């Protein structure tokens, strides 16, 4: 039985076996116990999943994958993958919810959760020509579905007509319930009807983490 790559996938070379040697590979956990020696030509080799380990059998390719994605050992709350993205949209004028930044994630198990952290830095002007407040709103989305609560920012400084600078931060633990790719977005809505007042997004970021 040889390790094919660093993803802990092992393949039994043939249908018969005599000795299975336990070898500790540098940087990959440890080997415990003596070598396994077959007692007869019909002896059976059994692989047993320990705590937080999943054994995945693929008969089509004669492959057994050993994964740290959980496996009945309790605990939970482990971070299995982390993905992130950032964007600098610049001047914006969208009057319907539009993605400032997005990131897709594919879960290893439909029962796992996704921890989303998103943030943006932006400026909102006051529309002195139409005497209208600058108005920018933010929400997190899973696909086309809003999740969490809206954050609302208004510049109503009609005395100085200055830009004002803001930041928003979102954190949300979601349960998408699927192993299909799911896209999360931080979206904005420029809610000015006249003008509209200037607004600019300097930077936006999003991080999604799979939690077992």
Domains in the chain, CATH or no CATH each: 1-73 (no CATH), 79-211 (2.60.120.760)
For the stretch 121-143, pLDDT in tens is 998 877 666 566 678 889 999 99
How much of the chain exceeds pLDDT 90, in percent? Answer: 39
Question: Binning pLDDT at 50, 70 and 90, where does residue 31 land?
Answer: low
Q: Which of 22, 25, 29 minimizes the C-alpha distance to 1? A: 22
Q: Is the dihedral of CA 159, 164, 169, 170 positive or negative?
A: positive
Question: Average pLDDT for residues 155-173, to the nearest whole number?
Answer: 81
Q: Which of 88, 130, 87, 83 minimizes the C-alpha distance to 107? A: 83
d(Cα 149, Cα 140) in Å, to the nearest integer?
Answer: 8
pLDDT value of position 197? 61
Question: Binning pLDDT at 50, 70 and 90, where does residue 113 land?
Answer: very high
Residue 47: which residues within 8 A CB-CB, separation 6 or more? 55, 64
Taking CA atoms, 127 is separated from 68, 116, 186, 202, in Å, by 55, 34, 25, 20
Reading the block at residue 171, the tokens are: 């954190």
pTM: 0.61
């Amino acid at each position: 039985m040889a390790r094919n790559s660093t993803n802990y996938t092992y393949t039994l070379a043939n249908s018969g076996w005599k000795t299975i040697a336990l070898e500790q590979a540098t940087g990959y956990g440890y080997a415990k116990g003596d070598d396994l020696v077959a007692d007869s030509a019909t002896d059976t080799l059994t692989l047993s999943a320990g705590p937080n380990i999943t054994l995945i059998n693929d008969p089509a390719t004669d492959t057994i994958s050993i994964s740290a994605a959980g496996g009945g050992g309790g605990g939970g709350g482990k971070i299995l993958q982390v993905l992130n993205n950032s964007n600098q949209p610049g001047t914006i004028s969208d009057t319907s919810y539009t993605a400032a930044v997005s990131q897709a994630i594919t879960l290893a198990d439909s029962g796992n959760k996704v921890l989303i952290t998103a943030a943006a830095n932006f400026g909102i002007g006051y529309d002195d020509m139409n005497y209208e407040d600058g108005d920018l709103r933010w929400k997190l989305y899973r696909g086309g579905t809003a999740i969490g609560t809206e954050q609302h920012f208004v510049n109503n400084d009609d005395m100085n007509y200055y830009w004002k600078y803001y930041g928003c931060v979102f954190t949300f633990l979601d349960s998408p319930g699927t192993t299909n790719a799911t896209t999360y977005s931080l979206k904005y809505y420029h809610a000015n009807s006249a003008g509209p007042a200037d607004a600019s997004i300097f930077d936006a970021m999003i991080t999604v983490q799979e939690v077992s």
